[in-house]
Structure 1
Amino acid sequence: MLETAAPRDAVLIFSGGLDSAVTAYKLRDDGVTLSLLSFNYGQRHVKELAHAANLADLLGVSHDIVDLTSLGRILGGSALTDPSIAVPHGHYRAETMRSTVVPNRNAIMLEIAAGAAVAAGADAVAFGAHSGDHAIYPDCRPEFFTLIEASIKAGNEGHIESDFQLVAPFLELTKADIVRAGARLGVPFELTWSCYEGGEVHCGACGTCVERREAFNEAGVADPTLYAPSPKSPKGAAR
């Protein structure tokens, strides 16, 4: 799944975040024809979809947004879909981040993307998960991808491309590795959105913001992200 030849045509699950943006630029650099698929599942940071649309225009590739808002209403118990649950602050791998799990989210998205790929005759579905996701999100782990790839192939036998693959180029790599790759590829990091709070600027305190800041620092790449002021920096936004 991870060390195979580049596909010809791929449907990429595209949130407008850093990981999916770098995945898009990497696949395009590999000569893959891309179709981008975003999802509105009632997430509080729905503004990420506007970032996804802007990046799709910049890339010059097709982009569709799937409306799953009605489904999102039954995927309760997550800080991302339930406004009564506060988005936890702190490190991305902290136990408190379990409240950001949306039940079965990636399986739902991957199966829909697979249907789109089969209908379009594409030979791959791509996703930007990375090793930092493994601790909290079971649907970002290698064993999950192996099993769902097999499920997609079995569920579409006789209709799917014979060399179909699930592509997750960063599944065993770190967020810092993704930032380094994005810097090499010229990804406009400032146009990506990571924050779970969904405010005017990145909050700088939620798990994804902490992880984003840490990744740029570890990668030795300048972080162009505009963050909200912290209690220690009352004068203007921190960068």
Structure 2
Amino acid sequence: MKTIVICSGGLDSVSLAHSIAADGNLFRLVSFDYGQRHRKELDYAAACATRLGVPHHIIDMRTIGAALTGSALTDDIDVPDGHYAEDTMKVTVVPNRNAIMLTIAYGIAAANGDEAVATAVHGGDHFIYPDCRPAFTQAFDTMQRAALDGYADVALSTPFVHRSKADIVTEGARVGTPFADTWSCYKGGEHHCGRCGTCVERREAFDLAGVTDPTIYEDPDFWRAAVADKEGA
């Protein structure tokens, strides 16, 4: 099935791209510049496309992103440290981000004769990000089939939606994903900070998967205390 992957340059989407490429179904990547403060991730997405030998579409959504205010990923708001927790990590929500990106990706797929749009939403995102939940992805697929009825037949692929980030690390390792060439950190410094929610989740996922983490963290040991705090909450 000819597939376009929405690729942020992060561990999840790059692993997904490598997994689909291993099956011979990867035809292109699409990434989005929505004014995120950690835009260096786009370089990692571009490197992924080059490595896998597929076209890479970078969509300029900066004017749209400027209107989606109130998120620590786009505005001058401090990114909280610690494990994902609803009371702190809601500040990282960019409203309707996935819905907007998926809509554009579907249009690109239809225009190029692709048969599926793949996104790396996973089970760990569900309780904070509403547009990563199964109810959303199922409804979105239904809506897009109606939107393209009679013009194109494009399916939504969400292979990780019921799986954990540790599962993604396991799958990524199976297909040879170069984890060091992925970017997750919300703070966008020279190295991964090791303290924000996505860094903690990333480090914990490698530990749970039993896979060596090649990532350089500014604070490589913070994740243990963050996980302990969450488990003790």
TM score, norm. by length of structure 2: 0.93
Contact 1:95 1:136 in 2 (8 A): no
1:44 maps to what in 2?
Answer: 37
For 1:184, the equivalent position in structure 2 comes to 174
SS in 1 for 2:37: coil
Distance 2:135 2:123 in 1: 12
Report the secondary structure of 1:109's partner residue: helix
**Offset, 1:218:** 0.4
Cross-structure match for 2:197: 207
Question: Deviation per CA, 1:187-239, whole angstroms, max 9, x where unpaired?
Answer: 0000000000011000000000000000000001000000114698xxxxxxx
- 1:211 corresponds to which letter in structure 2? E
State the distance in 1 between where 2:106 and 2:186 align. Answer: 26
Asked whether the equivalents of residues 16 and 55 of structure 1 are also in contact (C-alpha less than 8 Å), the reply is: yes
Quick one: which amino acid aligns to residue 167 of structure 1?
A: S
1:94 Cα deviation from its structure 2 partner: 4.1
- Show the 5 A alignment for 1:145-184: 145-161=137-153, 164-184=154-174
SS at match of 1:81: coil
Deviations 1:45-93 (A, max 9, x none): 100001111111111111110000111110001000101x111111024
Matched, 1:23 2:16: yes
Report the Cα distance in structure 2 between the residues aligned to 1:230 and 1:91, rounded to whole angstroms.
14
Distance 2:116 2:52 in 1: 19
Distance in 1, matches of 2:167 and 2:47, equals: 24
**Contact 2:8 2:42 (8 Å CA) reproduced:** yes
Residue 11 (structure 1) shift = 1.4
Deviations 1:135-170 (A, max 9, x none): 100000001000000111111111112xx3100111
Counterpart CA distance in 1 for 2:24 and 2:49 is 16
Q: CA–CA distance in 2 between the matches of 1:34 and 1:74?
A: 31
Q: How many residues get paired?
A: 222
One-letter code aligned to 2:178: P
Residue 177 of structure 2 corresponds to residue 224 of structure 1: no
Q: If each structure's helix is expressed as a fraction of its own residues, which one has the higher value?
A: 2
- One-letter code aligned to 1:189: F
Q: Give, as a single letter, the amino acid of the residue that structure 2 aligns with 1:39.
A: F
Listed as ranges, the gaps of 5+ residues in structure 2 are: 223-233
- Call closer, same or farther: CA 1:219–1:230 in 2, change over 3 Å: closer
Corresponding residue for 2:70? 77
Secondary structure of the structure 1 residue equivalent to 2:205: helix
What is the CA–CA distance in structure 2 between the aligned matches of 1:148 and 1:87, rounded to whole Å? 29
The SS at the match of 1:73 is: helix
**Paired residue for 1:112, among 104, 108, 112?**
104
| Residue 133 of structure 2 is aligned to residue 141 of structure 1 | yes
Q: Distance in 1 between matches of 2:220 and 2:19?
A: 34
Matched, 1:59 2:49: no
* Larger mean Cα displacement after TM superposition, 147-156 or 223-232: 223-232
- The TM-score normalised by the length of structure 1 is 0.90
Alpha-carbon distance in structure 2 between the residues aligned to 1:231 and 1:17: 21
Identity fraction in percent: 55
For the Cα contact (< 8 Å) 1:73–1:81, is it kept in 2? yes
Structure 2 Cα separation of the partners of residues 30 and 53 of structure 1: 20
Query: Runs in 1 of length 4+ with deviation above 3 angstroms?
Result: 229-232
In the alignment, the residues of structure 2 paired with residue 17 and residue 231 of structure 1 have an alpha-carbon distance, to the nearest angstrom, of: 21
User: Which segment drifts farther, 86-95 or 200-209?
Assistant: 86-95
Distance 1:175 1:158 in 2: 37
Q: 1:228 to 1:108 in 2, by over 3 A?
A: same
User: Tell me, which stretches of 5 or more residues in structure 1 are unaligned?
Assistant: 1-7, 233-239
**Match of 2:229?**
none
CA-based RMSD of the aligned residues comes to 1.3
2:36 alignment partner AA:
Q
Contact kept in structure 1, 2:34 and 2:61, CA below 8 Å: yes
